[in-house]
Amino acid sequence: MTHRPSSGSLAFAAKPGEIGHMSDLNTILDLIPPSARLINARTGKSIRASALLAEVAARAATLPASLRGGDRVVIGAADPLEFLLFLFATWHRGCVAVAVNPALAGPEQANVIDTTGARHWCGELRAKLPDYAPVSAAGAGANEEAPALILMTSGTTGRPKGIVHSLASLRRRISHNLAAIGTASLANTLCVLPVFFGHGLIGNVLTPLAAGGAVHLWPNPLLAELSGTGPYIDTNAISFMSSVPSFWKLALRVSPLPQIPLTRVHVGSAPLGLLLWHDIAVWAGTRAVYNMFGMTETANWIGGGSLTDPRAADGYVGTAWGGKLAVRDEDGHVRSYGRGEVLVHSPSLMRGYFERPDLDAEAMHEGWFCSGDVGELAADGHLTLIGRIKTEINRGGIKIQAEEVDMLLERHPDIIEACAFGIPDPAAGEAVAAAIVLRPGASFVPEAIKAWCRTQARADVVPARLHLMQSIPRNDRGKIVRADVRRITEGGHG
C-alpha cells in the first residue's frame, strides 16, 4: 500500500441514495440533495445544502496560500460544524485532512504534527508548527483513489497510527451503507459521537447527508445533558441514531423514553450483549436495532445484524454489506466458515497506514484484511463476534475472550458494566479477573456473583477475582481501556 498526494472531493448524489462522480468542490456541493442539513444541537445553528458552498469557500479562503495538493492539514476544530466545514474546505484545496480529537494537549498535538508532517492546524493549536519550505504540487489532481483522509488512532503517545482513506473508499462505503439502510430511516439523524473518527464521521454524518437527511450534531453529551435525549428525539422527529454501548448504558438510566419511536438504531465500536440490546429496543420503541461490525480500516461499518433476526445473541453482527468475510483458524488456514480470526474483503478498505509499510504487511493475509476479532462465521455468512485476539486470556492453554466474560457479567441483574482481563496465575499462566460497576443500591458480594456465573456459563470463564469500580475507564471513542482497568485494580480484589 503506497501513499500519494491527493486532490478531489467526496461526491454525494443529486438524488438521495445515489453516489455521483468525483469532481471539484462546487460540483460536489451542488450534488448534495437540497433537503440535507447540518445542525449544531447545542447552539441551534443550522446550515442547509444550499449554503454549504459559501460556508466551505469561506473556510478554504482562510487556509494558507502556500498549501499544495497532498499537504496534510489537521482538522481539530472543537465545534462539530466548524470541523466538518474545514474538512470539506481541506478537500477543496486538494489537501489531505487529518482528523483528530480537538481536546489533544500540546505534546499530543506536537506528536500528530511530527507523525504526519502536517502543514496547518484548523482549531486551537497548543503546539508549534514547523516552518516548511513550499513543496511542488506534482502528483496533485483529481485522483479519487489518492489519500484524502487520515483518521488517527486514539493512542497519541509513541507513534500514533494514521489510517489513510481515499475519497473513493469513502464513497464506496457510503454507497453500501445506503443500500443496506435505505434513505427513509436517515431523514433525521442524531449524532452523539465525536466526528473525528470513522463511526461518527462516516456513519453518522456523511452517510445521512448523502441520503438527503438532516444531521443533528450533539457529540459527547455530558451526563447532565443526557436526560434531554428523549425530549430532543421527540422535538426534532429523530429517526436514526448510531452510538456505542457505553452511551446507551448511561442514557437508559437518566433519560425518559421518547414518545415518538425511532425508525432505526445502530450500536457499534464495542461489544453488545443481548440484554442491553433488548433494553435499547424498549427505550427506542423499535426492534430495528442493529449490532454493527466495523472498523476504521474499512471506513466504518462492514455489516450489521438486527434484533429481529432469530439468530440475535451476544455479539451477533449479521452479514457483510458489500465485500466478503472469512475466518483464519489456529493453523493459519482461511476458511469460509467456522471459528477463528475474522478476515475481511471490503470495497472500502483503507489505502494503508500512513508511512507504515510494516503495519500494512501485518494487516494483510493472502489478500484478506485481518480484523483482529475472533468470531464464529456460519456457512451462510452470518457472523457472531466473540472477542479480540489482543484481549484473549490464556488459562492453561484454554483461550478465553475478555469480551465474552464482559457480556456474561453484564447479564447479572446487579451489574451495569464489566471489564475482564487476564492476571498472572502460577498454575495456569493466566486467570480471569474483572472489574464491575454495580447498579445503585446493590451490594458487592463477590462469591455470590461468581456462584451466579457458574450457573450461566462454563467454569473457565468465571472470574477468579472481582473488583468494584465506580466507572470503567474509556478512551475518547467510548471504548474500554483494559490496560487502565488492570492498572487501577492492582491491589484490592474480591
- Does 346 lie in the same domain as 440? no
Residue 290 gets the label, from left (phi > 0), alpha (psi -120 to 50) or beta, of: beta
User: 65-94: per-residue pLDDT in tens?
Assistant: 999 999 999 999 999 999 999 999 999 899
- Does 210 lie in the same domain as 352? yes
pLDDT value of position 34:
87
Contact 121, 442 (CB under 8 A): no
Q: What's the grid cell of residue 492?
A: 484490592
Mean pLDDT of 22-45: 72
Mean pLDDT of 288-312: 95
Q: Indicate the average pLDDT of the chain.
A: 88
Residue 55 has pLDDT above 80, yes or no: yes
Residue 220 gets the label, from left (phi > 0), alpha (psi -120 to 50) or beta, of: left
Q: What is the CATH number of the domain that holds 368?
A: 3.40.50.12780
Strands (E), 225-367: 240-243, 264-267, 289-295, 300-306, 316-320, 324-328, 334-335, 338-345, 352-353, 364-365
pLDDT value of position 473:
87
The rounded distance, in Å, linking the Cα atoms of 172 and 19 is 8
Cell 481515499 belongs to which residue? 166
In a domain, 36, yes or no: yes
The rounded distance, in Å, linking the Cα atoms of 276 and 92 is 42
- Does 12 lie in the same domain as 129? yes
- Does 368 lie in the same domain as 426? no
pLDDT value of position 8:
31
- Does 374 lie in the same domain as 450? no
- Does 1 lie in the same domain as 71? yes
In a domain, 494, yes or no: no
Cα dist from 474 to 73, 246, 487, whole Å: 27, 9, 13
pLDDT value of position 481:
84
pLDDT value of position 144:
81
Mean pLDDT of 330-351: 95
Mean pLDDT of 361-380: 95
Q: What is the CATH number of the domain that holds 480?
A: 3.30.300.30
In a domain, 173, yes or no: yes
- Does 20 lie in the same domain as 132? yes
Instruction: Say how many domains are in the chain.
Output: 2
Domain boundary among 389, 416, 451: 389
Residue 494 has pLDDT above 80, yes or no: no
Query: Looking only at Cα atoms, what is the longest distance across the chain?
Result: 68
For every residue of 130-184, DSSP letters joined together read: PP------TT-SS-TTSEEEEEEPS--SSS--EEEEEHHHHHHHHHHHHHHH-SG
pLDDT value of position 483:
84
- Does 428 lie in the same domain as 311? no
- Does 407 lie in the same domain as 281? no
Contact 350, 335 (CB under 8 A): no
Mean pLDDT of 423-443: 91
pLDDT band at 187 (very low <50, low <70, confident <90, very high): very high
The rounded distance, in Å, linking the Cα atoms of 76 and 99 is 7
Burial of residue 332 (CB within 10 Å: 0-12, 13-18, 19+) is exposed
User: 40-50: per-residue pLDDT in tens?
Assistant: 999 999 999 98
Cα dist from 424 to 388, 396, 420, 432, 465, whole Å: 19, 11, 13, 9, 12
In a domain, 106, yes or no: yes
In a domain, 257, yes or no: yes
Domain boundary among 353, 374, 389: 389
User: 102-137: per-residue pLDDT in tens?
Assistant: 998 898 899 999 999 999 999 999 999 988 655 544
In a domain, 203, yes or no: yes
Residue 349 has pLDDT above 90, yes or no: yes
Domain boundary among 389, 420, 440: 389
pLDDT value of position 30:
46
Could you tell me what percent of the chain has a pLDDT over 90?
Answer: 70
Residue 384 has pLDDT above 90, yes or no: yes
Segments forming the whole domain that contains residue 187: 1-389
pLDDT band at 154 (very low <50, low <70, confident <90, very high): low
pLDDT value of position 269:
86
- Does 282 lie in the same domain as 240? yes
pLDDT value of position 489:
86
DSSP state of 195: T
Mean pLDDT of 308-332: 95
pLDDT band at 491 (very low <50, low <70, confident <90, very high): low
- Does 107 lie in the same domain as 141? yes
Highest mean pLDDT among 254-268, 386-400, 470-484: 254-268
pLDDT band at 398 (very low <50, low <70, confident <90, very high): confident
Cα dist from 77 to 22, 125, 153, 205, 206, whole Å: 26, 10, 17, 16, 17
User: 445-461: per-residue pLDDT in tens?
Assistant: 999 999 999 999 888 89
User: 405-430: per-residue pLDDT in tens?
Assistant: 998 999 999 999 999 999 988 877 88
Cell 445544502 belongs to which residue? 49
Cα dist from 304 to 17, 180, 300, whole Å: 19, 9, 11
- Does 216 lie in the same domain as 295? yes
Mean pLDDT of 377-400: 90
In a domain, 409, yes or no: yes
pLDDT value of position 493:
54
**379: CB partners within 8 A, 6+ apart:** 336, 337
Cα torsion through 57, 62, 66, 69, rounded to 10:
-40
The rounded distance, in Å, linking the Cα atoms of 383 and 338 is 10
**Which helix H or strand E contains 207, and what residues bound it?**
helix 207-210
